A and B are shown apart, each in its own frame.
Chain A
């Protein structure tokens, strides 16, 4: 866990007006909109400023604040992998004001993006290990960034298992990438849906239950999970039961954000800000924080 910096009086870095106001977004054009499910769309956007676009890099696990001018700004993980350049992607579930406005946009619209923000998955520490991605519903979006990044650097990692579930087959996201994932060597995809469905030949059951059926070994392994709060709760319990240590379990948290840069005070859990000290945390780190998220 990055220790909060000690404030040394007088070291505040004062910048002149020529340095950009950190609340102003970069302009980006929506190039492609993919309908994932009845309430989820994935947007691919490219920065308008060529120099910014060429030089833009980020790490898996980071997030972005997307603006619909006149409506507002909201947080979305960078679901694309940084190994694939020239664009960024964000997946949007329609739940509120900004998400609904995004769903109304067509390809070609200009939006604002402030990125990259937040910390990242410490993928260097995952090298040489087996990785288990455990995702539920749209929780797969942040995991996808790390997953595709690892698949693009396949030799750095051991076996990769992806356990992904949703309410029904119509609620599964990124279906167009499953073939690519499974084609990767030593990589297996385990899909599951909550209830029986005609035409569904794969697993039926909640993600935590399926996890216990599959019994991944904790030996030299890392588990990364994201999904509905209730799913995460049971997945954490199950991983502990399977023998995973707190340092082997990683997740990414969601909180209401506005500034995204640790100033507006909205996303704190105890003394940390999810926007700057997170959103990626290990279970060991979460255990030290107050239970308020």
Chain B
């Protein structure tokens, strides 16, 4: 399908025309925090923050998700699984990094059977329209870890802001279906040229690619950096909770008398109790082991297991770390000679 354009004034009625079929999810800013929320009022959509403070993780794996409910009576038990169907959803304004992160999580949640049906049920019912980052943030480094900013993956259509209109490219049959709406007109040569300008300008602010997966083959298990990071790191977990590729979770029960349920909730290897065993042994007893685990998991174990790097360079961990642990500097030090 050839490229299209949609005037910014038409976005609202395009989304309105879809609102019957899809639950529209887009970045919304409240009290200074931009997160992906279900929107009914399309004028509330805020496409400026790059990236949004919240990633798409909550859209596919909510912070807390019920797995099943149970009821006990005497010695017997009954388990009830929710039959609620997942509605079709459309994410508008996803960033290339967040969409690429979904491909990584796809790999993790399907690598071994049984696959995570809860995640994939949402995944197959969600269309994603991405937006090119015209104004990358100081903490963005996606181009260092992949080329998905200009060759997007994990989305159905890719929009670029070229002034009074958005340039639109379909990437999948679903994307083609979306772009066949009457609000979309064919893109002109001038439009294509404008996209090139926007792309060039953004890329000039972003770093060059580095093959961290290859470099990770010789990462030093006993590098002095781990002890130094352990000194500073507070073990707060913000890096993991904002990270779009983090997929770790805890499973807990909730009991109210004879009824209750089991849920899963986000968790992180940065917390001390993550690997703590019942009898008291903890394979990662200090922040030294835990900071190393984070870096190795993203940059070494992930390429080894999934042939995909576990980091999409969104920079949220860099911006949010209270003590300025900057993953780019950590990798530089790990990968420097001597």
Contacts and interface: CB of A to CB of B under 8 A. Distances in A.
B307 A262 contact: no
Given A13-B115, A263-B247, 20 more contacts: A6-B306, A12-B110, A14-B120, A17-B117, A21-B81, A22-B114, A24-B67, A27-B77, A69-B70, A73-B262, A98-B278, A256-B274, A258-B249, A258-B250, A262-B112, A263-B116, A264-B250, A266-B269, A269-B283, A292-B284
B264 to A, nearest CB: 7
Interface in B113-159: 113-118, 120-121, 123-124, 153
B124 A4 contact: no
Contacts of A112: 77, 79
Interface of B: 67-68, 70, 72, 75-77, 79, 81, 83, 85-86, 103, 106-118, 120-121, 123-124, 153, 221, 247-255, 260, 262, 264, 267, 269, 274-281, 283-284, 289, 293, 296-297, 300-302, 304-308
B277 A256 contact: yes
B249 A264 contact: yes
B248 A265 contact: yes
Interface string A1-40: 0001111010111111101111111010100000000000
B117 A21 contact: yes
A86 interface: no
A78 to B, nearest CB: 18
Contacts of B118: 21, 23
B277 A21 contact: no
A290 B274 contact: no
Contacts of B153: 9
A4 B75 contact: no
A212 interface: no
Given A14-B120, A22-B116, A293 B70 contact: no
Nearest to B77: A110
Contacts of A271: 300-302, 304-305
A229 B79 CA distance: 37
Nearest to A270: B301
Nearest to A68: B253
Given A12-B115, A15-B115, A266-B248, A23 B68 contact: yes
Contacts of A72: 251-253
B114 A69 contact: no
A14 B277 contact: no
Contact of A70 (B72, B112, B304): B72
A267 B275 CA distance: 7
B217 to A, nearest CB: 12
A7 B308 contact: yes
B117 A15 contact: yes
9 smallest beta-carbon distances between A and B, as pairs: A70-B255, A96-B278, A265-B248, A12-B110, A271-B301, A22-B114, A7-B107, A271-B304, A110-B77
Chain B, interface SS category: mixed
A275 to B, nearest CB: 9
Interface in A263-292: 263-273, 276, 290-292
Contacts of A71: 253, 255
B70 A12 contact: no
B293 to A, nearest CB: 8
A17 B84 CA distance: 9
Contacts of A64: none
A273 B302 CA distance: 12
Interface residues of A, number: 64
19 contacts: A5-B112, A7-B308, A9-B103, A14-B120, A21-B68, A23-B264, A24-B79, A70-B254, A95-B279, A96-B279, A98-B278, A112-B79, A229-B281, A256-B274, A256-B275, A263-B108, A264-B267, A266-B275, A270-B304
Nearest to B124: A14
A70 B289 contact: no
A293 B117 contact: no
Contact of A292 (B67, B70, B289): B289
A71 B262 CA distance: 9
A292 B275 CA distance: 11
Interface string A52-73: 0000000000000001011111
A4 B304 contact: yes
B323 to A, nearest CB: 24
Interface string A84-118: 00000000010111110000001011111000000
Contacts of B110: 7, 11-13
A30 to B, nearest CB: 9
Given A4-B306, A271-B304, A292-B289, A263 B279 contact: no
A162 interface: no
Contacts of B109: 12, 263
Contacts of B269: 265-266
A111 B113 CA distance: 24
Nearest to A138: B279
A74 interface: yes
Contacts of B260: 69-70
A130 interface: no
A73 B280 CA distance: 17
Contacts of B307: 6-7
A12 B281 contact: no
Identify which of A12, A27, A74 gathers the most chain B CB atoms within 10 Å of its CB: A12
B113 A13 contact: yes
Contacts of B67: 21, 23-24
A272 B121 CA distance: 26
Give the interface centre of B79, B251, B280 by most chain A CB atoms within 10 Å: B251
A151 interface: no
A91 B264 CA distance: 26
Contacts of B117: 15, 17, 19-22
B251 A23 contact: yes
Contacts of A70: 70, 72, 253-255, 260
